Structure 1
Amino acid sequence: MELERIAEKIFARANEIPGMQGVLAFQFTSGDSLSITVSDSVKVGHCDAPSDVTIKMSTDDFVAVANKSRDLERLFTAGKILVEGDFGLATLLPQAIRASLSDRNTENKIDSNVEEQRFPAPERYSEFVTAAQPPLRTVERWDSDDLSPEVFYQQYVLPCKPVIITNALKEWPLYNMSQEESVLHFEGLQGMIRTGDYVSQTFSKNRKFKAESMADFIRSAKAYKTGDNKLPEYLGSNSLPESLETLIRWPVYFRHDQYIPPRIWIGPQGTVTPLHRDDSDNLFAQVWGEKAFILAAPHERTHLYAWATHKDGGLEGSEVNAEEPDYSRHPEAQEVNFLKVLVGSGDMLFIPDGWFHHVRSLSLSLSVNFWTTSVRRAGEM
C-alpha cells in the first residue's frame, strides 16, 4: 500500500526521538487509515492496541510532507491537521519526520526513554569565546537605524555578545496595526497550547498540551487575570503560520538562507520559560508587551548545574531558578554574573548560541523569534 510505504519512509527513525513511544493512528480524508507503532523499532500497519494519538489530515498533505513540499507544523497551524489524544506525543512528530528525511546518518542512537534522564551538558565553543573576554555587566542597546549588519557581525556575532536592537519592528505590519486588527489575521489558525506546570516539565514528553484557535486564545489571554499561583496557559514556540509571514519582516542581520522558519509565542502576563540555552544564534522580536530576560554567559555552564537530554547535548536546561537561586542547593550559582534585560514592544534581542536565558512575560505578549543555522565552531566564524 502506497500510504504504508510513505509512512515507513517518514517515520523510519521515529524510535530515535526521545519520548517517541506509542501507537499513532492516521486517518485520512480519503477514508484510508494506518497505524504506526513506535517502541525499540518502528512498525507500520495494523495494531490491535488502542492508539495513543490520532492525526486527521488529507492524503495529499501526507504525501507532500514526505516530499518535503509541505511542513507538518504549518499544516497544523493552518487548521489542516486535527489531533486527538496525547498532544505531547504529537509534538514529537516534526522531529521524527525531520530525522527520517535527513540525509545525515545517525552515529549515536538516542535512547527512547532519554527524557527521564539528565546528562551533564557538554562544552561548546561559545564558552571559550565568552570566557576569554571581560565579564559582561550590561547589554548594550542600539537603534536599528544605527546598527548595520557589518557592525552587528563584528561587535556581537563574532564575540558572542547579546544586544538589544530598538525600533527594530517599525516596518512590520503586525507591529504597526492595533491588537484588535491583528487578531483578525489569526482567525482560522490553530495553536498548540502549553497547559499545567510546563516549567517543571521542561523538555519532557509529559508536558500537557491542547489545541485551540489562535484567535480565541488571544482573546482569552487578553481577559486573563492573575491571582493564583498557577501558570497561565501559553502558546509557546509554535511555527509561525505561513499566512502571517507577510505581516513580519526578516531581520537583515543574517543571510536569509541562514534562518530557519520563525516561531511565534503568545501569552498573558506570567508565562515563564525556565533557564535553558539554545544551540544556535537567535533574534527575539517583541511585537506586543514586555518580557523580562535573565541571561548568563555560556561559560557559566557548570556554575548553573546545566543538564542535557542526551550525552551529546540535545536540549539543555539548568537546575537553577534564575529568578530565585537557592544557593544552599546550588552554591556554585553564586559565581554567576546574571544579566537582567527588559525587552519591550518594538525591540529585538540578539541571544548568541550557548547563552542561558530565562524569560517571563510582564504583560500580554506576542513575540516572534528567528533561530539561525549560525553556530560557533573553531575556525568557522
Structure 2
Amino acid sequence: MTTLHAPTRLGDTWREWLAENLAMGASVDEARAAAVAGCGDADAVDAELAELTGHPYFAVCRRLALRYDWMESVLDTYRALRNSDGGGTLERRADLTPEEFFSRYYFGNRPVVIEGLMTDWPALEWTLESLATKCGDAQVEVMTGRDANPDHAWQYDRHRTTMPFRDYLTALGSGVRTNDYYMVPRNENWSGPLRPLAADVRPPAGIVDPSAVGHLLLGPAGTVTPLHVDNSSVLLCQVLGRKHVRLVPSYERHLVYPRGGTFSAVDAADPDPVRHPRFAEATVLETVLEPGQMLLVPVGWWHWVEALDVSATVTFHHFCTPGQNHKMATPPAAGQDD
C-alpha cells in the first residue's frame, strides 16, 4: 500500500514573504520561482500558494496593497514636480532671515545649509582640552560596544555606559577612527552634567526658541548614524570637525526600504543594487558640514551621517513656530522590514 506524504509546511518567514510579494503585485510564477529557489521545497511552496491565493484575507491584503500603490504614484508625481523645481539640489544660504527660513525651508519641507548664523558662538573655540577643563569631572552617558551590534542604532538601551567626561575625551583624543562609541542625543548630558557648555551656544534668533535646550552629539572620526528618519524637523549646528551627510526626501520613503520603524535597510554608504534596487531611483543630496555651518533636516527627510573628524554637533528641535515643531507619527516597528 502506498503511503501519501503531505508536503512540508513552509516556515513563517517564507509564508510572510509570499503573502507580501503577491499582495504587492508579484505574479504567482515569479513568487513561486523565487521561493522554491530559496527554500528548496517545491511541494511546500505549491501547497502554500494554493492556500494563500484562495484565502479571503489575501483578497483584503491585495486591495490594501493597491491603495498603497496609488499612494506611491502620488509621491512619485510629487517627486517629479519637486525635482523640476530644484528639489534635486541642496541649497546653501548665507545670513538667511527667519522669514525666509520658515517660508521656503521649514514650511516648504526643504533642507538647507546655512552659513553665517554661528559667528558669535564661543563653542566654535572648543577643543578636547577646553571641554575637559570645563566639565571633565562630570559623569556622562555614552553609547559603547556599537561595533558588535549592527542594530545598535535602535537597540540603544543595550549600549548605555556611564563614565567620566574626561575619560571619554581622552578616548576621542587617541585619534582612533571608530564607530564603537558615540555620545548621541538619547541622554540627559546636555541638560544635566554638561549644562555649563550650553552657555557657549547661541540659538539663532527668530528661528530657534530662545528657551530651547539643545542636544550634543560628540564622537570620534568614523562614527556613523545609519539612514533614518526623525519625526520632527531638526537643525544640526556643526561646532567641531566635519560631517558627511546624505539626505533622501520625505516623499521617497517607498524607495529607502524602511526597517525597524524609523531606519532604512539600505547602507547609504554602499547601497546593494541587488537587495535594494529601488534605492537607485532615490534622490540623494549630500554635503560635508563644516564648523560654523547649520543644516536643516526637515521632518520626514531620511539622513545618513558620518563623522570625518572628531566631531561635535549641537542640535535643536524647538523652533519659533506654534507648537515649536511639526511632528509626524512614528511608524510601527513590527518587523525587520516594513
Q: What is the aligned counterpart of 1:349 among 295, 301, 305?
A: 295
Verify the 8 A CA contact 1:291 1:343 in the aligned structure 2. yes
Verify the 8 A CA contact 1:130 1:298 in the aligned structure 2. no
Higher strand proportion, which one? 1
Structure 2, unaligned runs of 5 or more: 1-67, 319-323, 329-338
- State the AA in 2 paired with 1:233: Y
Q: What is the aligned counterpart of 1:133 among 40, 65, 82?
A: 82
- State the AA in 1 paired with 2:203: W
**Deviations, residues 133-189 of structure 1 (Å, cap 9, x unaligned):** 22622211122xx31100111121121111111233211112135543233112232
| Residue 256 of structure 1, CA deviation | 1.3
**Deviations, residues 208-247 of structure 1 (Å, cap 9, x unaligned):** 2211122321221021323xxx633111114413222211
Instruction: Specify the SS of the correspondent of 1:359.
Output: strand
Which residue matches 2:249? 297
Verify the 8 A CA contact 2:143 2:156 in the aligned structure 1. no
| Residue 317 of structure 1, CA deviation | 0.7
- State the AA in 2 paired with 1:200: D
Instruction: Specify the SS of the correspondent of 1:133.
Output: helix
CA distance in 1, matches of 2:78, 2:121: 33
| Residue 192 of structure 1, CA deviation | 1.5
Instruction: Specify the SS of the correspondent of 2:255.
Output: coil
TM-score, normalization by structure 2: 0.65
CA distance in 2, matches of 1:210, 1:130: 44
**Deviations, residues 113-137 of structure 1 (Å, cap 9, x unaligned):** xxxxxxx9xx9xxx79964522622
Verify the 8 A CA contact 1:130 1:160 in the aligned structure 2. no
| Residue 202 of structure 1, CA deviation | 2.1
Q: In the alignment, does 2:184 pair up with 1:236?
A: yes
Verify the 8 A CA contact 2:248 2:303 in the aligned structure 1. yes
Instruction: Specify the SS of the correspondent of 2:152.
Output: coil
1:192-211 aligned at under 5 Å gives the runs 192-196=141-145, 197=147, 199-204=150-155, 207-211=158-162
Q: Per the alignment, do residues 141 and 369 of structure 1 end up closer, same or farther by CA in structure 2, a change over 3 Å counting?
A: same
Which residue matches 1:277? 229
The percentage of counterpart residues that share the same residue type is: 28
- State the AA in 1 paired with 2:171: S
Q: In the alignment, does 2:220 pair up with 1:268?
A: yes
CA distance in 2, matches of 1:167, 1:176: 16
Q: In the alignment, does 2:118 pair up with 1:169?
A: yes
Instruction: Specify the SS of the correspondent of 1:337.
Output: coil
**Deviations, residues 233-266 of structure 1 (Å, cap 9, x unaligned):** 1111144132222111112253517x75311111
CA distance in 2, matches of 1:149, 1:374: 15
CA distance in 2, matches of 1:141, 1:298: 19
Which residue matches 1:336? 282
CA distance in 2, matches of 1:352, 1:253: 17
Instruction: Specify the SS of the correspondent of 2:135.
Output: coil
Q: In the alignment, does 2:92 pair up with 1:157?
A: no
Which residue matches 2:200? 247
Which residue matches 1:287? 239
| Residue 358 of structure 1, CA deviation | 0.4
Verify the 8 A CA contact 2:242 2:307 in the aligned structure 1. yes
- State the AA in 2 paired with 1:331: P
Which residue matches 1:365? 311
Structure 1, unaligned runs of 5 or more: 1-119, 310-315
CA distance in 2, matches of 1:128, 1:281: 22
CA distance in 2, matches of 1:214, 1:129: 49
Verify the 8 A CA contact 2:179 2:220 in the aligned structure 1. no
| Residue 351 of structure 1, CA deviation | 0.5
Instruction: Specify the SS of the correspondent of 1:152.
Output: helix
TM-score, normalization by structure 1: 0.58
**Deviations, residues 100-119 of structure 1 (Å, cap 9, x unaligned):** xxxxxxxxxxxxxxxxxxxx
Q: Per the alignment, do residues 169 and 266 of structure 1 end up closer, same or farther by CA in structure 2, a change over 3 Å counting?
A: same
CA distance in 2, matches of 1:186, 1:178: 12
Q: In the alignment, does 2:131 pair up with 1:185?
A: no
1:210-229 aligned at under 5 Å gives the runs 210-226=161-177
Which residue matches 2:326? 375
Verify the 8 A CA contact 1:139 1:339 in the aligned structure 2. yes
Verify the 8 A CA contact 1:129 1:160 in the aligned structure 2. no
- State the AA in 2 paired with 1:243: P
**Deviations, residues 332-374 of structure 1 (Å, cap 9, x unaligned):** 1111111111101111111100000000000011111012341
Which residue matches 2:49? none
- State the AA in 1 paired with 2:215: R
Verify the 8 A CA contact 1:130 1:159 in the aligned structure 2. no
CA distance in 2, matches of 1:165, 1:282: 13
- State the AA in 1 paired with 2:283: N
CA RMSD of aligned residues (A): 2.7
Instruction: Specify the SS of the correspondent of 2:163.
Output: strand
| Residue 331 of structure 1, CA deviation | 1.2
Verify the 8 A CA contact 2:128 2:169 in the aligned structure 1. no
Q: Which portions of structure 1, spanning 4 or more consecutive aligned residues, are displaced by more than 6 angstroms?
A: 127-130
CA distance in 1, matches of 2:311, 2:78: 31
**Deviations, residues 64-102 of structure 1 (Å, cap 9, x unaligned):** xxxxxxxxxxxxxxxxxxxxxxxxxxxxxxxxxxxxxxx
